[in-house]
Amino acid sequence: MAVREALSAAPVHELFVTDAAAARHADLVGLAAAGGARISPVTDRAAAGLSDTVTPQGIVAVCSLLDVPVAAALAGRPTLVAVLAGVADPGNAGTVIRVADAAGADAVLLAGNSVDPHNGKAVRASTGSLFHLPLARDRDAMAVLEACRDAGLTAVVADPGGELDLYGPAADALLRGPHAWVFGGEAHGVEAGLARRADHRVRIPILGRAESLNLATAAAVCLYASVAARTR
């Protein structure tokens, strides 16, 4: 549950909870109270109004925003970063954050006209992972790319027309070093100008008759290719 992850990782200012949910999740209510959060009992109707889900669980936490400046997200010596450039769908964004967390990425950067990671659907799709690693947003996608380079990362765009094959020896060697994967929007991928500015463009081979992979699946394949390259 995202509320549990929030209580363990982020300042929670207030917890809205129905009587039934308070009985089911007494431990969460206790954690929130111990952390100084205000506990506000609400009716089922009020809980439904606070939530944008079809079947609300009756417990809603109000937290501080999680995003930090890009420089802060890239502080230290990052070796694997995911960049979402122009990703509009909150479910896809949240799922990529979840995959990046699972793959051990150091940060997720949202560039250009990407969705707000605090969007309710993105939070739910991340299944709490947005509380586990640094998130940063910047409308200037080119600046994000340069910030990755300044942090010692090679910028690698996932591109169906890329010059490198994900499973080829050149890509394998590339993915052993520090790098940032750049994933584009659902309909058109990474914007052409941004893709040209990257250091490399890597394609996932389509061996069957499928036209393409969706964003979240492609991101999972790429990020775990990085894991495989680094552990070989």
Tens digit of each residue's pLDDT, the chain (232 residues): 678 888 877 788 899 999 999 999 999 999 889 888 999 999 988 888 887 776 778 888 888 888 999 999 999 999 999 999 999 999 999 999 999 999 999 999 999 999 999 988 999 899 889 999 999 999 999 999 999 999 999 999 999 999 999 999 999 999 999 999 999 988 788 999 999 999 999 999 999 999 889 999 999 999 999 999 998 7
Q: What is the pLDDT of residue 144?
A: 97
Contact 118, 2 (CB under 8 A): no
Residue ranges per structural domain of the chain: 2-63, 70-231
- Name the CA radius of gyration of the chain, rounded: 19
Q: Which residues pair with 54 in a beta bridge?
A: none
Q: What is the pLDDT of residue 54?
A: 64
Q: What is the pLDDT of residue 1?
A: 62
CATH code: domain 70-231 is: 3.40.1280.10
* Three-class secondary structure of residue 190 per DSSP: coil
- pTM metric for this prediction: 0.88
Q: What is the pLDDT of residue 173?
A: 95
Q: What is the pLDDT of residue 169?
A: 95
Question: DSSP secondary structure string, 194-230?
Answer: HHHHSSEEEE----SS-----HHHHHHHHHHHHHHHH
Strands (E), 18-146: 38-41, 59-63, 80-85, 107-111, 135-138
